[in-house]
């Protein structure tokens, strides 16, 4: 017998970013979510565009890129299973800061950012919880970026 497919609610509840939220909170979040599948190369978000959505990667990989005129896009980071793509929906001016592109076929959960923002405005406990989680994720990203900037694999004397 094959494995039973996880429901949307179960997938959201199992995601590291939502770990520990109450059943009621998870229900509120799932109300703004839907399953989505995209092909390789699909653009999930484009730098400067309104950030109306964000994504949880179920399976696949998404590259965060920075556009540079006259040259190939600069690859900043790749995200994988269980990672969240995009936090700009939560912060003004609600615009994508980078391009987010699927590097292969991806199974995602797409969240309606304005729907969830509205729920956070009405339910401050949910809003506080999500804000804490976004801050933790952003802090991790900041720390990773600092390590990347150090170029730790360069010659020892360069450190």
Partner 1 sequence: MHARSEPATDLASMVPAPFRVAGKRRDTADTWTFELLGEDPLAFAPGQFTMLCAGGAGEVPISISGDPDRPERLTHTVRAVGLATAAICAAEPGSVLGVRGPFGAGWPVADAQGADVVIAAGGIGLAPLRPAILWMLARRERYGRLILLYGGRAPDQLLYQEELDAWAQRGLQVLVTVDSAGPEWLGHVGVVTRLVKRAKLDSTSSVALACGPEVMMRFAVSALAEVGVPTDRIHASMERNMQCGIGHCGHCQLGPTLVCREGPVYRWSELDRWLAIREL
Q: Which residues bind partner 1 (CB under 8 A)?
A: 16, 61, 63, 72-73, 75-78, 80-82, 103-104, 143-144, 147-148, 150-157, 159
Closer residue to partner 1, CB minimum distance, 93 or 154: 154
- Structure tokens that stand for 98 in this block: 């980078």
Closer residue to partner 1, CB minimum distance, 27 or 144: 144
Closer residue to partner 1, CB minimum distance, 16 or 31: 16
For residue 125, the SS3 value is helix
E strands, 33-158, in order:
33-38, 43-45, 53-59, 62-66, 74-79, 84-85, 99-102, 106-112
| Residue 140: CB minimum distance to partner 1, A | 8
Q: For residue 47, count other CB atoms closer than 10 A to its CB.
A: 15
For residue 58, the SS3 value is strand
- Structure tokens that stand for 5 in this block: 């497919």
Closer residue to partner 1, CB minimum distance, 23 or 156: 156
| Residue 150: CB minimum distance to partner 1, A | 6
Closer residue to partner 1, CB minimum distance, 101 or 117: 101
| Residue 152: CB minimum distance to partner 1, A | 4
Q: How would you classify residue 26: left for phi > 0, otherwise alpha for psi between -120 and 50, otherwise beta?
A: alpha
Residue 9's contacts (CB-CB under 8 Å, 6 or more residues apart) are 26, 27, 30
| Residue 117: CB minimum distance to partner 1, A | 27
| Residue 54: CB minimum distance to partner 1, A | 19
């Amino acid at each position: 017998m094959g494995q039973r497919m996880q429901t949307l609610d179960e997938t959201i509840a199992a995601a590291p970013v939502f770990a520990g939220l109450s059943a009621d909170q998870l229900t509120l979040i799932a109300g703004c979510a839907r399953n989505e599948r995209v092909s390789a190369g699909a653009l999930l978000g484009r730098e400067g565009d309104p950030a109306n959505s964000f994504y949880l990667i179920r399976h696949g990989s998404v590259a965060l890129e920075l556009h540079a005129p006259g040259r190939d896009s600069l690859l900043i980071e790749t995200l994988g299973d269980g990672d969240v793509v995009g936090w700009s929906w939560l912060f003004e001016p609600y615009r994508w800061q980078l391009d987010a592109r699927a590097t292969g076929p991806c199974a995602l959960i797409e969240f309606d950012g304005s729907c969830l923002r509205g729920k956070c405005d009405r339910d401050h406990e949910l809003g506080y919880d999500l804000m804490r989680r976004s801050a933790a994720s952003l802090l991790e990203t900041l720390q990773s970026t600092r390590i990347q900037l150090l170029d730790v694999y360069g010659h020892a004397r360069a450190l």
